[in-house]
Amino acid sequence: MLKKIEKTLEYIRNITKVKPEVGIILGTGLGGLTKEIDIKASIPYKSIPNFPISTVKGHKGHLIFGELGGKNVVAMHGRFHYYEGYKMEELTFPMRVMKFLGIELLILSNAAGGVNPDYEIGDIMIVKDHINLMSNNPLIGRNDLGLGPRFTDMSEAYDKKIISKASKIARHHNIKFQTGVYAAVTGPTFETPAEYKYIRTIGADAVGMSTVPEAIVARHMSLPCFAVSVICDLGVEGKIVEISHDEVIDAASVVEPKMTLIIKELIASL
C-alpha cells in the first residue's frame, strides 16, 4: 500500500505543487462546489496511477487542486462506490493519498434517503455517527502500521468541534439542517419499504451507499472527518415513491448551493 501511495504522490507532485490542507469528496449531484474553487490543477482519475475510475453518472472523475475559503484544498469531483465492483481498499485509496499530501481534515458529502419521519426532501443532515451495513470494512486484511493501528477507535468518527462550527454557520445563514445518523448499505438497489423500516428501527436517520468506508479509513489515519448528507428521497411509510438515480441527482443539485455555502465558510473558519 505504501509503495502504491508513493507512486501516486510522485505523479501528482509532478503536476501540481499545491499542498492541500483540506480534502473534499463530492457526492452524487453535488459537484457544483468545484465552481467555488480557484482551480490550480485538475487531473483525470484515469491518468493517476493506482486510482480507480468513477463509473456513475453525476461523478465527473477529476482530482481538483486549488483554493477555497482561503485554504488550499484537494477535491474529488466524483467518488467510488463498493457497488461498482471495487474492493474496499481500492475505493478508499484516494483518502490515503490525500492524507499523505498533507490534508488535516476530510470533508465528505453524499446524497441520501431520509428514514426519519421528521425529515423532508431537501433537508441537509450533518452526520454525527454512522452504522455500517455494508458487510465489509476497508481495514480487513493485513494492517500496515505505517498507515494506522490494527484496531481503530470509532467513538468519534465525525469530529464534534467541526460539527459544532458547521451548525453555527448554518444557523447564521438560516439554513435548515438536521443532525443525524447515517446508515451505509452496498446498493446499487434502492431500499425496499421493509428495509427502510429496519434501518430506521436500528437507529439511523438517513441511508446511502457511500461515506462510511472513507470515514473509517480517515479515522484509521487519525484524520478528522466531517460529513454532510443531502436528503433526496424519503424512506418513510406513506411517503415512499418510486425513485431513480436521475431524480436523486436533480434533488441534490437544488440543495447544493446551501451545502456549498456551509462547506466554504467552514473551511474559511479553520
Rg of the chain (C-alpha set): 17
CB atoms within 10 A of CB 235: 27
Tell me what pLDDT residue 98 has.
98
Q: What is the pLDDT along the chain (270 residues), one digit of tens a residue?
A: 899 999 999 999 999 999 999 999 988 667 788 889 999 999 999 999 999 887 766 557 899 999 999 999 999 998 899 999 999 999 999 999 999 999 999 999 999 999 999 999 999 999 999 999 999 999 999 999 999 999 999 999 999 999 999 999 999 999 999 999 999 999 999 999 999 999 999 999 999 999 999 999 999 999 999 999 999 989 998 888 777 777 777 777 888 889 999 999 999 999
What SS3 state is found at 30? coil
Chain-centroid distance, C-alpha 232? 15
Residues comprising the chain, all counted:
270
- Beta carbons of 248 and 111 less than 8 angstroms apart: yes
Question: What is d(CA 190, CA 83) in angstroms, rounded to the nearest whole number?
Answer: 12
The DSSP symbol for 84 reads G
Half-sphere exposure for 36 (CA within 13 Å, toward CB) = 25
- Beta carbons of 191 and 204 less than 8 angstroms apart: no
Beta bridge partner(s), residue 129? 181
pTM: 0.94
Nearest to 151 by CA among 163, 165, 140: 140
Nearest to 181 by CA among 115, 135, 122, 117: 115
- Beta carbons of 124 and 228 less than 8 angstroms apart: yes
Question: What is d(CA 189, CA 17) in angstroms, rounded to the nearest whole number?
Answer: 41
Question: What is d(CA 9, CA 66) in angstroms, rounded to the nearest whole number?
Answer: 17
Task: Return the CATH number of the domain spanning residue range 2-269.
Answer: 3.40.50.1580
Question: What is d(CA 110, CA 159) in angstroms, rounded to the nearest whole number?
Answer: 17
Domain assignments of the chain as residue spans, ordered by start? 2-269
For residue 70, give the C-alpha cell.
482561503
Tell me what pLDDT residue 22 has.
98
Tell me what pLDDT residue 56 has.
66
Q: Which residues contact 253 (CB under 8 A, 6 or more apart)?
A: 29, 30, 32
